[in-house]
Protein backbone atom coordinates (compact mmCIF):
# COMPACT_ATOMS: atom_id res chain seq x y z
CA UNK A 1 0.00 0.00 0.00
CA UNK A 2 1.22 3.51 -0.88
CA UNK A 3 0.22 7.14 -0.29
CA UNK A 4 0.79 8.68 -3.72
CA UNK A 5 3.50 10.99 -2.38
CA UNK A 6 6.47 10.47 -4.71
CA UNK A 7 9.81 10.22 -2.92
CA UNK A 8 12.09 10.70 -5.90
CA UNK A 9 12.43 10.42 -9.65
CA UNK A 10 14.53 7.48 -10.69
CA UNK A 11 15.96 6.86 -14.16
CA UNK A 12 15.42 3.72 -16.21
CA UNK A 13 18.71 1.94 -16.80
CA UNK A 14 17.30 -0.96 -18.80
CA UNK A 15 14.11 -2.80 -19.74
CA UNK A 16 15.25 -6.28 -20.71
CA UNK A 17 13.04 -8.88 -22.35
CA UNK A 18 13.95 -12.56 -22.28
CA UNK A 19 12.20 -15.95 -22.55
CA UNK A 20 12.01 -16.05 -18.74
CA UNK A 21 10.29 -12.64 -18.48
CA UNK A 22 10.96 -8.91 -18.40
CA UNK A 23 13.29 -7.18 -15.95
CA UNK A 24 13.26 -3.45 -15.30
CA UNK A 25 16.36 -1.87 -13.72
CA UNK A 26 16.16 1.66 -12.30
CA UNK A 27 18.87 4.01 -11.04
CA UNK A 28 17.90 5.69 -7.74
CA UNK A 29 19.32 7.08 -4.51
CA UNK A 30 16.89 8.15 -1.75
CA UNK A 31 14.58 5.14 -1.87
CA UNK A 32 17.52 2.70 -1.71
CA UNK A 33 18.21 3.55 1.94
CA UNK A 34 16.09 0.71 3.35
CA UNK A 35 14.83 -0.99 0.19
CA UNK A 36 15.22 -4.75 0.60
CA UNK A 37 14.87 -7.57 -1.88
CA UNK A 38 11.24 -8.70 -1.67
CA UNK A 39 9.95 -5.23 -0.79
CA UNK A 40 7.15 -3.53 -2.70
CA UNK A 41 7.93 -0.41 -4.73
CA UNK A 42 5.66 1.87 -6.75
CA UNK A 43 7.06 2.68 -10.21
CA UNK A 44 4.90 5.26 -12.00
CA UNK A 45 2.01 4.04 -9.87
CA UNK A 46 2.55 0.31 -10.49
CA UNK A 47 3.22 -1.90 -7.47
CA UNK A 48 6.21 -4.16 -8.17
CA UNK A 49 8.53 -6.39 -6.13
CA UNK A 50 12.25 -5.75 -5.80
CA UNK A 51 14.26 -8.78 -6.96
CA UNK A 52 17.79 -7.31 -6.83
CA UNK A 53 19.52 -4.14 -5.65
CA UNK A 54 22.86 -2.50 -4.99
CA UNK A 55 23.99 0.94 -3.86
CA UNK A 56 22.97 2.63 -7.11
CA UNK A 57 20.06 0.71 -8.61
CA UNK A 58 17.34 -1.88 -8.12
CA UNK A 59 15.58 -4.36 -10.38
CA UNK A 60 12.02 -5.65 -10.59
CA UNK A 61 10.34 -8.30 -12.72
CA UNK A 62 7.36 -7.14 -14.79
CA UNK A 63 4.71 -9.58 -15.96
CA UNK A 64 3.34 -9.56 -19.51
CA UNK A 65 -0.08 -8.58 -18.10
CA UNK A 66 1.39 -5.52 -16.37
CA UNK A 67 3.24 -4.53 -19.54
CA UNK A 68 0.00 -4.71 -21.54
CA UNK A 69 -2.24 -2.69 -19.18
CA UNK A 70 0.19 0.02 -17.99
CA UNK A 71 2.73 2.40 -19.54
CA UNK A 72 5.72 0.38 -18.29
CA UNK A 73 6.07 -1.49 -21.57
CA UNK A 74 6.89 1.81 -23.30
CA UNK A 75 9.78 2.69 -20.98
CA UNK A 76 13.26 3.12 -22.42
CA UNK A 77 16.71 3.71 -20.97
CA UNK A 78 17.07 7.27 -19.73
CA UNK A 79 13.36 7.79 -18.99
CA UNK A 80 12.50 9.28 -15.56
CA UNK A 81 10.00 7.40 -13.38
CA UNK A 82 8.19 8.25 -10.14
CA UNK A 83 9.23 6.11 -7.17
CA UNK A 84 7.64 5.51 -3.77
CA UNK A 85 8.38 2.87 -1.15
CA UNK A 86 5.52 1.08 0.58
CA UNK A 87 3.95 3.14 3.37
CA UNK A 88 4.51 2.55 7.07
CA UNK A 89 1.41 2.33 9.26
CA UNK A 90 2.89 4.67 11.90
CA UNK A 91 3.47 7.57 9.47
CA UNK A 92 1.23 10.40 8.27
CA UNK A 93 -0.64 9.70 5.04
CA UNK A 94 0.02 12.84 3.02
CA UNK A 95 -1.96 11.71 -0.03
CA UNK A 96 -4.55 8.91 0.04
CA UNK A 97 -4.54 5.11 0.14
CA UNK A 98 -3.03 3.84 -3.10
CA UNK A 99 -2.85 0.13 -3.95
CA UNK A 100 -0.52 0.41 -6.92
CA UNK A 101 -2.96 -1.58 -9.06
CA UNK A 102 -3.49 0.45 -12.24
CA UNK A 103 -7.14 0.64 -13.35
CA UNK A 104 -6.38 1.97 -16.81
CA UNK A 105 -4.11 4.07 -19.00
CA UNK A 106 -5.19 7.62 -19.76
CA UNK A 107 -3.84 10.22 -22.19
CA UNK A 108 -3.07 13.88 -21.52
CA UNK A 109 -5.43 15.84 -23.75
CA UNK A 110 -4.57 19.38 -22.70
CA UNK A 111 -1.91 21.21 -20.67
CA UNK A 112 -2.27 24.84 -19.70
CA UNK A 113 -0.81 27.26 -17.17
CA UNK A 114 -3.12 28.81 -14.59
CA UNK A 115 -1.20 31.08 -12.24
CA UNK A 116 1.68 29.04 -10.85
CA UNK A 117 -0.07 25.71 -11.48
CA UNK A 118 -0.07 23.41 -14.49
CA UNK A 119 -3.58 22.19 -15.27
CA UNK A 120 -3.80 18.83 -17.04
CA UNK A 121 -6.91 17.44 -18.67
CA UNK A 122 -6.60 13.66 -18.89
CA UNK A 123 -8.79 11.53 -21.12
CA UNK A 124 -9.56 8.41 -19.12
CA UNK A 125 -11.32 5.04 -19.56
CA UNK A 126 -14.87 4.66 -18.25
CA UNK A 127 -13.72 2.11 -15.68
CA UNK A 128 -11.64 4.86 -14.06
CA UNK A 129 -14.07 7.76 -14.44
CA UNK A 130 -16.94 5.84 -12.83
CA UNK A 131 -15.17 6.24 -9.47
CA UNK A 132 -14.06 9.88 -9.95
CA UNK A 133 -15.84 12.76 -8.23
CA UNK A 134 -15.08 16.46 -8.15
CA UNK A 135 -12.64 17.21 -5.31
CA UNK A 136 -12.01 13.49 -4.86
CA UNK A 137 -8.69 11.66 -5.18
CA UNK A 138 -7.06 10.04 -8.20
CA UNK A 139 -3.58 8.60 -8.72
CA UNK A 140 -1.73 9.66 -11.89
CA UNK A 141 1.58 7.87 -12.53
CA UNK A 142 1.75 7.12 -8.81
CA UNK A 143 0.98 10.69 -7.70
CA UNK A 144 -1.95 11.43 -5.39
CA UNK A 145 -3.94 14.32 -6.91
CA UNK A 146 -7.30 16.02 -6.49
CA UNK A 147 -9.73 15.66 -9.39
CA UNK A 148 -10.93 19.23 -9.95
CA UNK A 149 -13.38 18.56 -12.78
CA UNK A 150 -14.84 15.30 -14.03
CA UNK A 151 -16.63 14.87 -17.35
CA UNK A 152 -17.88 11.84 -19.26
CA UNK A 153 -14.49 11.43 -20.94
CA UNK A 154 -11.89 13.18 -18.82
CA UNK A 155 -10.66 14.37 -15.46
CA UNK A 156 -8.81 17.64 -14.77
CA UNK A 157 -6.04 17.99 -12.16
CA UNK A 158 -3.81 20.89 -11.08
CA UNK A 159 -0.07 20.38 -10.58
CA UNK A 160 1.60 22.75 -8.12
CA UNK A 161 5.23 23.84 -8.80
CA UNK A 162 6.67 21.47 -6.17
CA UNK A 163 4.94 18.44 -7.72
CA UNK A 164 5.96 19.51 -11.23
CA UNK A 165 9.58 19.76 -10.09
CA UNK A 166 9.97 16.45 -8.25
CA UNK A 167 7.78 14.19 -10.43
CA UNK A 168 7.47 13.31 -14.10
CA UNK A 169 4.22 15.27 -14.47
CA UNK A 170 6.21 18.46 -15.01
CA UNK A 171 7.64 16.82 -18.14
CA UNK A 172 4.37 15.51 -19.57
CA UNK A 173 2.70 16.97 -22.65
CA UNK A 174 -0.51 16.39 -24.62
CA UNK A 175 -0.54 12.92 -26.10
CA UNK A 176 1.58 11.36 -23.35
CA UNK A 177 0.07 8.26 -21.67
CA UNK A 178 -0.32 8.05 -17.88
CA UNK A 179 -1.19 5.26 -15.44
CA UNK A 180 -4.44 5.89 -13.55
CA UNK A 181 -5.77 4.39 -10.32
CA UNK A 182 -9.12 5.52 -8.98
CA UNK A 183 -9.93 5.88 -5.28
CA UNK A 184 -10.22 2.59 -3.38
CA UNK A 185 -13.13 3.83 -1.29
CA UNK A 186 -15.44 4.21 -4.29
CA UNK A 187 -14.74 0.63 -5.39
CA UNK A 188 -15.62 -0.80 -1.99
CA UNK A 189 -18.76 1.29 -1.69
CA UNK A 190 -19.91 0.09 -5.11
CA UNK A 191 -19.24 -3.53 -4.16
CA UNK A 192 -21.18 -3.25 -0.91
CA UNK A 193 -24.16 -1.68 -2.68
CA UNK A 194 -24.10 -4.40 -5.32
CA UNK A 195 -24.18 -7.06 -2.59
CA UNK A 196 -27.24 -5.34 -1.15
CA UNK A 197 -28.81 -5.24 -4.62
CA UNK A 198 -28.95 -1.43 -4.57
CA UNK A 199 -26.83 -1.15 -7.71
CA UNK A 200 -26.84 -3.19 -10.90
CA UNK A 201 -23.82 -5.51 -11.25
CA UNK A 202 -20.80 -4.15 -13.10
CA UNK A 203 -21.04 -5.18 -16.74
CA UNK A 204 -18.33 -7.40 -18.21
CA UNK A 205 -15.98 -5.72 -20.73
CA UNK A 206 -16.72 -6.15 -24.40
CA UNK A 207 -13.80 -8.03 -25.95
CA UNK A 208 -13.54 -6.29 -29.31
CA UNK A 209 -10.76 -4.93 -31.52
CA UNK A 210 -10.55 -1.64 -29.57
CA UNK A 211 -10.26 -3.52 -26.25
CA UNK A 212 -7.42 -5.66 -27.59
CA UNK A 213 -5.57 -2.70 -29.15
CA UNK A 214 -5.62 -0.74 -25.88
CA UNK A 215 -3.92 -3.66 -24.16
CA UNK A 216 -1.30 -4.13 -26.86
CA UNK A 217 -2.70 -7.49 -27.97
CA UNK A 218 -3.12 -6.45 -31.61
CATH number, domain with residue 114: 2.40.30.20
**Statement to judge: residues 79 and 142 lie in one domain:** no
Q: Which pLDDT belongs to residue 191?
A: 79
Are 7 and 85 within 8 A, CB to CB?
A: yes
Residue closest to 102 by CA, chosen among 81, 85, 127, 121: 127
Residue closest to 83 by CA, chosen among 40, 38, 21, 23: 40
Residue closest to 48 by CA, chosen among 12, 19, 9, 86: 86
Q: Which pLDDT belongs to residue 95?
A: 84
Total number of domains constituting the chain: 2
Q: Which pLDDT belongs to residue 13?
A: 98
Q: Which pLDDT belongs to residue 101?
A: 93
Listing DSSP states for the chain in one string gives -B-S---EEEEEEEEEEETTEEEEEEE-SGGGTT--TT-EEEETTEEEEEEEE-SSEEEEEE-HHHHHHSSGGG--TT-EEEEEEPPPTTS--SS--B-----EEEEEEEEEEETTEEEEEEE--HHHHTT--TTEEEEETTEEEEEEEE-SSEEEEEE-HHHHHHSGGGG--TT-EEEEEE-HHHHHHHHHHHHTTSSPPPPPPP-SHHHHHHTT--
**Statement to judge: residues 116 and 185 lie in one domain:** yes
CA 5, 27, 55, 70 torsion-angle sign: positive
Domain residues for the domain of 184 are: 104-195
Q: Which pLDDT belongs to residue 142?
A: 97
Kindly state whether residue 162 falls inside one of the protein's structural domains: yes
Q: Which pLDDT belongs to residue 193?
A: 80
Q: What is the pLDDT of residues 29-59, one digit of tens each?
A: 999 999 999 999 999 999 999 999 999 999 9
Q: Which pLDDT belongs to residue 88?
A: 86
**Statement to judge: residues 117 and 171 lie in one domain:** yes
Kindly state whether residue 28 falls inside one of the protein's structural domains: yes
What is the CB neighbour count within 10 angstroms for residue 1?
Answer: 15
Digits of tens for pLDDT over the chain (218 positions)?
A: 999 999 999 999 999 998 878 999 999 999 999 999 999 999 999 999 999 999 999 999 999 999 999 999 999 999 999 999 999 887 778 888 899 999 999 999 999 999 999 999 999 999 999 999 999 999 999 999 999 999 999 999 999 999 999 999 999 999 999 999 998 888 888 878 877 766 566 666 667 777 667 666 66
Kindly state whether residue 150 falls inside one of the protein's structural domains: yes
Amino acid sequence: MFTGIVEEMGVVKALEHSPSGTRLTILASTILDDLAVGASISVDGVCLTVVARNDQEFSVNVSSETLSVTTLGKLKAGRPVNLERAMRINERIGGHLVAGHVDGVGSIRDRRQEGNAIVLTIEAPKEVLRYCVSKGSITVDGISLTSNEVSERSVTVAIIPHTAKITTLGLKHPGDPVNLESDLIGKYVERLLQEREQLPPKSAPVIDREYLQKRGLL
